[in-house]
């Protein structure tokens, strides 16, 4: 079913996507191993470790294992050391993700990139990391670069919104726009700093249980070709509209505070309720005035690409919007298999959503929907929401099935605290990032229904304050 032009066609397209996760994965034992290595048992630490076992995350993607030198010094790493690792281990991921997005967008000549919009919340330097990514890609020195800061987990959609407005500006001037949007987050290196705060302040800080590492990129375009002989390739997604909103007086609930040992996660127990409360009004605002095709009358009629900030964020969205886990199947799949990679996660979710295996587990066996709502929450608290039209003829392969059981949170109780994804990854730096594209999930990681019910019940009783 085609979307009516009355659904605000803006001539904006996502022509290509790229996602790169680092070579290693961490299960719940990674945090426990470092905690026992450097801190005594305390009530706060025991509480955090208990929550860590029931986050619903099977494994978090990471640039290293628990024996990485950076997290095994007498003291937590300094912000300068964190920056060095961000550049050495993170920037190559961003370069690889960008190359993947450019290739799918059929941009063989990088001189066609007119702008670059980037985001991160896990590094701060001048010039920013985007400068080095642009340099490595051979982008023109005249490319207009913008680096977003202070947007946290909403950074991916904030960057997409910024790119969309830049595209519209070029359209008004009658100029083609091809914008490379890049997000990069290296969060797992903050584990020692977070554990130190848990121990010293006796605080329940759960960010250490959730966050992971990732780079992702998309190429955004307006509908003006560079020449009549170079037509635009078909889009992966078309961007139809967006909304941005800040929830008043929530600055203390969600954030990422600067500290000599990096950044400290701010995550209050109010976040799930606050994010749930703003979902429906933002959705209604996004849909207001649009004449959508028949069959699109409520949230359950769309597919959803929700940023998986945590299990309670996703289950809260289900209750408020009246949707099922299968509506957010790519969000759950990404959360279970990689964790929360902050701003880089949403593009990974959109990339995963178009996998043919994801289409096979759509709600009620109805198949994939053409219209998709993307949503992410960031510090402030801010909400970013957008309406996308998926090109259903461009479906990618991927892992088999929906690896996120509906309304189920799983723990990793087997295996080591840190494990490589494959034999190749055991070689460490000998394997290039081009050769690593996420991880495959084994049969042994699928849990039985009895265990799932137990864990779901346990999650309901966990207090985060």
User: How far is residue 77's CA from residue 34's CA, in Å, rounded to a whole number?
Assistant: 14
Secondary structure (3-state) at 388: strand
Element (H, E) at 280: helix 271-287
Cis ω for the linkage preceding 442 (within 30 of 0) = no
Cα–Cα dist 251/263, whole Å: 16
* Helices and strands: H and E segment counts in the chain: 14, 14
Is it the case that residue 211 has pLDDT exceeding 80? yes
Q: pLDDT tens digit string along 81-113?
A: 999 999 999 999 999 999 999 999 999 999 999
Q: Residue 35 sits in which domain range?
A: 13-390
Q: What percent of the chain has pLDDT over 70?
A: 83
pLDDT at 460: 40
Residue 434 lies in a domain: no
In a domain, 266, yes or no: yes
Establish if 456 belongs to a structural domain: no
In the residue annotation, 209 being an active-site residue is answered as no
- Going by pLDDT thresholds of 50, 70 and 90, the confidence category of residue 396 is low
pLDDT reported for residue 8: 52
Tokens of 20: 């790169």
The tally of domains found in the chain comes to 1
- Least confident range from 6-10, 20-24, 93-97, 159-163: namely 6-10
DSSP state of 421: S
Distances (CA, A) of 233 to 16, 116, 169, 343, 392: 10, 20, 21, 27, 14
> Is 452 a residue whose pLDDT tops 90?
no
pLDDT tops 70 at residue 463: no
Q: Looking at the domain assignment, is residue 399 inside a domain?
A: no
| pLDDT, averaged across the chain | 85
Kindly name the residue from 153, 209, 375, 386 that is annotated as catalytic.
Answer: 153
Instruction: Give the pLDDT score at 5.
Output: 41
Distance CA 61, CA 421 (A): 9
Residue bearing the bigger pLDDT, 434 or 20: 20
Instruction: Name the token pair of 362.
Output: 């759509």
Mean pLDDT of 112-120: 98
Q: Does the residue 76 lie in any domain? A: yes
CATH code of the domain containing 220: 3.40.47.10
Strands (E), 371-438: 371-378, 382-390, 418-420
- Residues 414-450 pLDDT 10s: 333 444 444 433 333 333 443 333 334 344 344 334 3
Which of 39-43, 202-206, 429-433 is the least confident region? 429-433
Q: What is the SS3 assignment for 56-70?
A: CCCCEEECCCCCCHH
219 and 180 Cβ atoms separated by less than 8 Å = yes
More confident call, 448 vs 11: 11
Task: Give a yes or no: residue 7 inside a domain.
Answer: no
The number of CA neighbours under 13 Å toward the Cβ of 77 is: 21
pLDDT in tens, 272-322: 889 999 999 999 999 999 999 999 999 999 999 999 999 999 999 999 999
* Cα–Cα distance, 303 to 138 (Å, whole number): 37
Residue 445 lies in a domain: no
- Any domain includes 6: no
pTM of the full predicted structure? 0.84
- Return the SS3 of 243: strand
Give yes or no for residue 465 having a pLDDT over 80: no
């Amino acid at each position: 079913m085609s979307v009516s032009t009355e659904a605000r066609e803006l001539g904006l397209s996502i022509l290509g996507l790229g996602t790169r996760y680092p070579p290693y994965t961490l299960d719940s034992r990674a945090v426990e191993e470092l905690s026992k290595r450097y801190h005594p048992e305390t009530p706060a630490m025991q509480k955090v470790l208990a929550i860590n076992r029931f986050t619903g995350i099977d494994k978090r993607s990471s640039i290293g294992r628990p024996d990485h030198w950076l997290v095994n010094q007498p003291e937590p790493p300094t912000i300068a050391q964190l920056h060095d690792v961000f550049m050495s281990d993170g920037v190559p991921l961003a370069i690889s993700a960008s190359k993947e997005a450019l290739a799918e967008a059929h941009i063989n000549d990088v001189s066609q990139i007119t702008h670059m919009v980037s985001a991160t919340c896990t590094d701060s330097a001048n010039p920013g990391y985007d400068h080095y990514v642009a340099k490595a890609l051979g982008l023109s020195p005249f490319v207009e670069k913008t680096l977003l800061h202070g947007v946290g987990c909403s950074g991916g959609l904030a960057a997409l919104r910024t790119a969309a407005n830049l595209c519209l500006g070029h359209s008004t001037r009658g100029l083609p726009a091809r914008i490379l949007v890049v997000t990069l987050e290296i969060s797992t290196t903050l584990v020692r700093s977070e554990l130190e705060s848990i121990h010293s302040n006796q605080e329940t800080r759960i960010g250490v249980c959730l966050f992971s590492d990732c780079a992702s990129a998309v190429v955004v375009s307006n509908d003006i070709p560079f020449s009549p002989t170079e037509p635009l390739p078909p889009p992966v997604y078309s961007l139809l509209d967006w909304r941005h909103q800040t929830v008043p007086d929530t600055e203390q609930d969600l954030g990422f505070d600067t500290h000599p040992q990096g950044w400290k996660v701010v995550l209050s127990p109010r976040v799930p309720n606050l994010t749930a409360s703003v979902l429906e009004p933002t959705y209604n605002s996004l849909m207001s005035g649009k004449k959508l095709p028949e069959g699109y009358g409520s949230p359950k009629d769309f597919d959803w690409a929700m940023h998986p900030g945590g299990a309670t964020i996703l289950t809260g969205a289900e209750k408020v919007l009246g949707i099922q886990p299968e509506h957010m199947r790519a969000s759950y799949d990404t959360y279970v298999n990689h964790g929360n990679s902050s701003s880089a996660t949403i593009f990974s979710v959109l990339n995963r959503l178009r996998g043919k295996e994801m289409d096979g587990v759509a709600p009620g066996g109805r198949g994939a929907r053409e219209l998709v709502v993307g949503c992410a929450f960031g510090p402030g608290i801010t909400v970013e929401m957008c309406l996308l039209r998926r090109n259903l003829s461009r479906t990618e392969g991927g892992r088999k099935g929906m690896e996120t059981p509906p309304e189920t949170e799983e723990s990793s109780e087997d295996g080591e605290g840190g494990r490589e994804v494959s034999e190749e990854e055991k070689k460490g730096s000998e394997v290039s990032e081009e050769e690593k594209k996420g991880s495959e999930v084994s049969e042994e990681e699928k849990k039985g229904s009895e265990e799932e019910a137990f864990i779901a019940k346990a999650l309901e009783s966990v207090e985060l304050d």
